Amino acid sequence: MNLIIDIGNSRAKAVVMDGDALVKEYVAEAFNASLFAEIMEAYPTIERAIIASTRGDELSAKEVAETRLSRVVIFKPATTPIPLENHYYTPETLGADRLAAAIGAQALHPNADIMIVDFGTAITIDFVEGGAFKGGNISPGVTTRFRALADYTACLPRCYATEEVLDYGRTTKEAIEQGVMRGIEQEIRGYIESFMQKNGEKCVIFTGGDAKYFVKRIKNTIFADCEPVIFGLNRILNYNAERI
């Protein structure tokens, strides 16, 4: 069994994997000794772990995991061997979650060109084409956009994501809600339209905490219940274990 530790901007996720099957998911503010002890008590047959972090705290997580596990991999896009060709010019600046998602998506859809949209603190739009990670773009996420309007204006209120779809806002609150949500919708539609013009089998994957708001707005997408980041990290861990 594998332990996948994905530490994001706002939360840490620890996932127990048995082969390619997700067994149990833990979510906390941080990955620490008490959480690790809880996981190992429930799943003592875990043999190895992989850690990916956007916070820069992967070394402390590694120290915790190494108290019980002999094989712990820190995923670094610039140095960790991966089962996917990487065309990014500066892999040392590439987010581990972005590359892991690309690897997971490519494993799930090996014969397709893939566009992965991750709706998190930032929205990342990445592309796997011709069996290689080509790169992608980053823009502010849903919460980030709402917060920016509230923080950088004198009178606009703080608003939040909504599932309501209106042609136009009839109050300032509705105007902000629809402006942010529909702005992101149109942004992603533009990417999809451009992507779909290319030849070959195509697949568009939505993932991340805010993906649920846009799956309903934008059809012909795949909502990744088993997140491609987790699946990709699991594949990277197995790939490195096989190289020993």
Instruction: Report the alpha-carbon distance of residue 223 to residue 120 in Å, rounded.
Output: 14
B/e letters for 220-231, b = 16+ CB within 10 Å, e = fewer, are ebbebebbbbbb
Catalytically annotated residues: 97
Nearest to 68 by CA among 12, 5, 131: 5
Instruction: Report the alpha-carbon distance of residue 40 to residue 33 in Å, rounded.
Output: 10
Nearest to 61 by CA among 20, 93, 96: 96
SS3 call for 183: helix
Instruction: Check residue 80 and give left, alpha or beta (phi > 0: left; psi -120 to 50: alpha).
Output: beta
Q: Give me the residues paired with residue 72 across strands.
A: 49
